[in-house]
Amino acid sequence: MEPEEFSLVRGALRSFATRYRVGSADEIAPRTRAAAQEALDELGLADLRRASPPAATAQECALLAEEHGGQPLTTSLLGTALLAPELLRLLGAPATTARPTIALARDLRFPGPHPAPLVAWDGDGADHALAVDPEGIVRHVVPGPPAPTADPLRGVRAVPGGGASVGRLTPEARRHWQAYALVMVSAELVGAARSFVELSVGHARERRQYGRRIGSFQAVQHLLADATVLVEACASATRYAAWCLDHEPPGRALTAARVAKAEVNTSAVEAVYAGMQVFGGIAQTWEHVAHLYLRRVLVGATVLATTTDLLTALAVPDPEVPAGTRTPDTAAALAAPEATR
């Protein structure tokens, strides 16, 4: 996509996010969710990765995911506009009017090797879901009733089970799909953490205690400075992983994506915790927006893969990667302190 064209797309998403963000949990309702999803669908973002070659790079899509994560939105961007279209592109499936999302295991991780209950994740506006097993087989499943989730902004629906096979990813395509999914989820969490830290900084500049703005207290300054460093670490790892998706083989891209998600799982949560401390007691109330960011990041840290899952995978040589293909920069990424947080 041309830089000017991408700027217009990103600006449209930013305008949408500003208009449809929710200010508190009380504003989350079926009618407002449906209206926001309809407005997002009209932007046509699901077409960005549907064609081959895609209209937008993985790096551009990651920036859009960041933009979406920066506001408390009830809309499905990751599931229906970024992840499912990429999966269909990798399968070589023909274009249709159907709107799928992706299906995950009940604990929101990648589906395991054995049949187990699934959920359609981030599926507002979707009419079916696609599940990818470890062998690369993609199944078409039909979502059922809403399923409980700790993140009220995200639509999750139970999947009764079964589902017909619609194709099989090659080993390289499956690795690319996993890397792409990890990067997009990580990018949205980066956007959420960054936005909440910025809100916390704004609060520290205005909130007064003992006759002074709390931002003038050194302890608060240190807390917010540390949170900012954590967010930048997340952003750096995630954007590098997105670059690898566009320029490196799938095996190396998957390694970078695992490192990024492991970093985000810990650092984004720590950054939001710091912001919660700056806000103080008001952040613990139902009416305040803070807990929506906290829930989004806490749940997001478990989506697709936990830190334990990722570090275990990084520690074991992948049998599908030929010996000698691990580059020095990849080895350095595995040894980086951020990867072992």
pLDDT tens digits, 1-25: 788 999 999 999 999 999 999 999 9
**Nearest one of 251, 267, 238 to 341, comparing CA atoms:** 267
Strand partners, 140: 130, 164
Domains of the chain by residue range = 173-340
pLDDT at 284 over 50: yes
pLDDT in tens, 184-194: 999 999 999 99
Q: What is the mean pLDDT of residues 213-219?
A: 89
Q: What is the mean pLDDT of residues 212-218?
A: 89
pLDDT in tens, 286-313: 999 999 999 999 999 999 999 999 999 9
pLDDT at 243 over 90: yes
Q: What's the 3-state SS for 101-169? A: EEEEECCCECCCCCCCCEEEECCCCCCEEEEECCCCEEEEECCCCECCCCCCCCCEEEECCCCEEEEEC
- Share of residues in the chain with pLDDT > 90 (%): 81
- Residue 58 neighbours by CB distance under 10 Å: 26
User: Do residues 120 and 157 touch, judged by C-beta distance below 8 A?
Assistant: yes
Residues 6 or more apart whose CB falls under 8 angstroms from that of 312 comprise none
pTM value is 0.91
pLDDT at 52 over 90: no
Q: What is the mean pLDDT of residues 112-137?
A: 90
Residues in the chain: 341
pLDDT at res. 321 = 57
pLDDT at res. 322 = 55
pLDDT at res. 327 = 41
- Give the right CATH number for 173-340 from 1.20.1050.10, 1.20.140.10, 3.40.50.970, 2.40.50.140: 1.20.140.10
Mean pLDDT over the full length of the chain: 90
pLDDT at res. 299 = 97
